[in-house]
């Protein structure tokens, strides 16, 4: 767990939905990790922001305008500058086809958007307590999807 004198973890959320961003920001405020949260509302803005400042971890929605999350994931993983960037897919899509595609394309984890703030807080706590700077976690497929319980 981080203490107040430690640097904040820079979390970037790429998601066009205002309500999802608001709930995500509420959940981030509840985790025992100091977080600086930034947002990209679409895939093109995400790619511009990544060129400016790399976050410590990226939460990537698949359904975004202009450039969707799948296209962003492929572009990020094709660029060596982003090899150490942890990417958590943060999506309402629960189908196996999308989950398998994200796994194959190099996402680190897949989190299905939960229906409650408490579940989201629990998921974020588990993900943000990993020391991503010391290790880049690529789980087996059976461990790839993160759930609250």
Looking at 31-133, list the stretches that DSSP marks H as alpha helix, in order from N- to C-terminal side: 43-52, 69-77, 96-104, 117-128
Q: Which CATH class is domain 9-146?
A: alpha beta
pLDDT for res 148: 73
Q: Could you tell me if residue 18 is left (phi over 0), alpha (psi between -120 and 50 degrees) or otherwise beta?
A: alpha
| Residue for token pair 């949260």 | 37
Residue-averaged pLDDT of the chain: 89
pTM: 0.90
3-state SS assignment for residue 17: coil
Write down the domain spans for the chain: 9-146
Tens digits of per-residue pLDDT, 75-118?
999 999 998 999 999 998 888 999 999 999 999 999 999 989 99
* Burial classification of residue 53, based on how many CB atoms lie within 10 Å of its CB (0-12 exposed, 13-18 middle, 19 or more buried): exposed
Q: Is the pLDDT of residue 135 over 70?
A: no
Query: Alpha carbon of 65 to those of 5, 45, 76: distances in Å?
Result: 38, 10, 17
Radius of gyration of the chain (CA): 14
């Amino acid at each position: 767990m981080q203490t107040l004198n430690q640097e904040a973890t820079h979390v970037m959320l790429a998601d066009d939905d205002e309500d999802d961003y608001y709930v995500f920001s509420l959940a981030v405020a509840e985790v025992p990790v100091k977080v600086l949260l930034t947002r990209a509302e679409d895939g093109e803005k995400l790619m511009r922001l990544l060129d400016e400042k790399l976050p410590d971890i990226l939460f990537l929605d698949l359904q975004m305008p202009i450039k969707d999350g799948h296209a962003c994931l492929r572009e990020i993983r094709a660029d060596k500058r982003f090899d150490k960037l942890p990417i958590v897919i943060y999506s309402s899509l629960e189908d196996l086809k999308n989950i398998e595609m994200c796994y194959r394309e190099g996402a680190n984890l897949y989190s299905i958007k939960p229906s409650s703030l408490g579940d989201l807080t629990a998921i974020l706590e588990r993900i943000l307590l990993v020391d991503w700077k010391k290790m880049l976690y690529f789980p087996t497929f059976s461990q790839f999807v993160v759930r609250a319980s």
